[in-house]
Chain A
Amino acid sequence: MSDAQSSSDRIPINLRTEALEQLLVERGLVDPQVMDTFIKTYEKDVGPLNGAQVVAKAWTDPEFKQRLLDDGTGAIAELGFKGPQGEHLVVVENSSAVHNVVVCTLCSCYPWPLLGLPPAWYKDPAYRSRVVREPRTVLNEMGLELPKDTEITVWDSSSEVRFFVLPQRPSGTEKFSEGELAALVTRDAMVGVAQVNA
């Protein structure tokens, strides 16, 4: 165990955090206004709707979809979505033959610019370890039953790469506008633990 950890283990976590903030602000290393802007941005503005817009555009614009699959980071930057954890974005496409699901076994990496901050279950040790070993069972438990002949591929974001799932466009949506399509796409579908339903 490291020094900083052992000496602060018994101090409540909120006080450890407050101590850090006070010292860093006093030393001019952190500007409280910049900090508040980051917090507000991630609390209120950056969320799965960004990803849903990317998916809807990919469903309606084949050239964009090709760029998205070839260079995820570049294609989402076209739409103005970029920032920490959006670098080296790789988009994996679901089909009736292959279903993709994303995890980060080491540290809960997640494509923030497209999905916001990750939900509790994504960070949970149980999801992180089990989805790699028994993806079909974990997906069943989360309410997703896939046909037996659909292959499941688990993408572990444990390198520099963040993965993002392009779900299958549901049937019956041929006449939907891009906006109507975006409204169907959920966060869980873009992590690969759900499908998009019309």
Chain B
Amino acid sequence: MTTTIDFDIDGPAAPPRSNGELVFEEPWQSRAFGLVMSLHESGAFTWEEFRAELISAIAAWEEQETPSEEYSYYQCWVTALEQVTVHNELVTTDDLAGRARDLALRPAGHDHDHDHDHDHDHDH
């Protein structure tokens, strides 16, 4: 399987051309995409393994009688990534659930990017 990425980054193909559409709609989608690409390149799993999980995740969504939410390709993508990383023993289901719960407990505003002193009193 070819894993080389050999695109002509500075050449005539440089201008982005996605017919005005954003490639990723939300940051987590691009992270999930990057994770799969990185793990695949390092040989953590084959493309076929990932693709089989993606097909299962999409089929599971489509088989719901009353879908609970709007279809999201990247949501299926993340489910497939969870499956393939658990099956290859890179992480466990408990690791993932535990870490996600920890992340959910962070105080609101944790991801503000500015560097300020969190101990000072806000006067508003």
Binding site for B on A (CB under 8 A): 1-5, 7-8, 11-24, 27, 29-31, 34-36, 38-39, 41-50, 52-53, 80-87, 106-109, 113, 116-117, 119-120, 123-125, 186-188
Contacts of A35 in B (CB 8 A): 31, 34-35, 37-38
C-alpha gap A17/B26 in the complex (Å): 12
**Closest CB in chain A relative to B73 CB, distance in Å:** 4
Instruction: Check A18 against B34 for contact (C-beta < 8 Å).
Output: no
Given contacts A19-B99, A29-B42, A80-B8, whether A4 and B93 have CB atoms under 8 Å apart is: yes
Q: Kindly state whether residue B1 has any CB partner on chain A within 8 Å.
A: yes
Residue contacts A-B, CB under 8 angstroms, 22 given: A5-B79, A7-B93, A8-B93, A8-B97, A13-B28, A14-B28, A15-B103, A20-B78, A20-B82, A24-B90, A35-B34, A38-B33, A43-B30, A44-B14, A45-B13, A47-B15, A83-B5, A84-B2, A84-B3, A106-B59, A107-B55, A109-B51
Contacts of A14 in B (CB 8 A): 26-28
**Closest CB in chain A relative to B83 CB, distance in Å:** 5
Please report the number of residue pairs spanning A and B whose Cβ atoms sit closer than 8 angstroms: 200
**Closest CB in chain B relative to A139 CB, distance in Å:** 17
Beyond the given A23-B91, A38-B34, could you list 9 further A-B residue pairs with CB under 8 A, ordered by the A residue number? A5-B79, A19-B97, A30-B42, A36-B34, A39-B33, A42-B33, A48-B19, A82-B4, A119-B19
Instruction: Check B13 against A49 for contact (C-beta < 8 Å).
Output: yes
Contacts of B117 in A (CB 8 A): none
C-alpha gap A175/B54 in the complex (Å): 46
Contacts of A27 in B (CB 8 A): 90-91
C-alpha gap A39/B23 in the complex (Å): 10
Interface size counted on chain B using CB atoms at 8 A: 71
Q: Kindly state whether residue B16 has any CB partner on chain A within 8 Å.
A: yes
Instruction: Check B81 against A82 for contact (C-beta < 8 Å).
Output: no
Given contacts A4-B93, A8-B96, A23-B91, whether A187 and B17 have CB atoms under 8 Å apart is: yes
Given contacts A12-B104, A49-B12, whether A123 and B73 have CB atoms under 8 Å apart is: yes
Instruction: Check A17 against B79 for contact (C-beta < 8 Å).
Output: no
Q: Of the candidates B5, B17, B78, B97, which one forms a contact with A116 in the assembled complex, judged by CB atoms under 8 Å apart?
A: B17
C-alpha gap A30/B54 in the complex (Å): 20
Given contacts A24-B90, A44-B16, A47-B13, whether A8 and B35 have CB atoms under 8 Å apart is: no
Instruction: Check A43 against B24 for contact (C-beta < 8 Å).
Output: yes
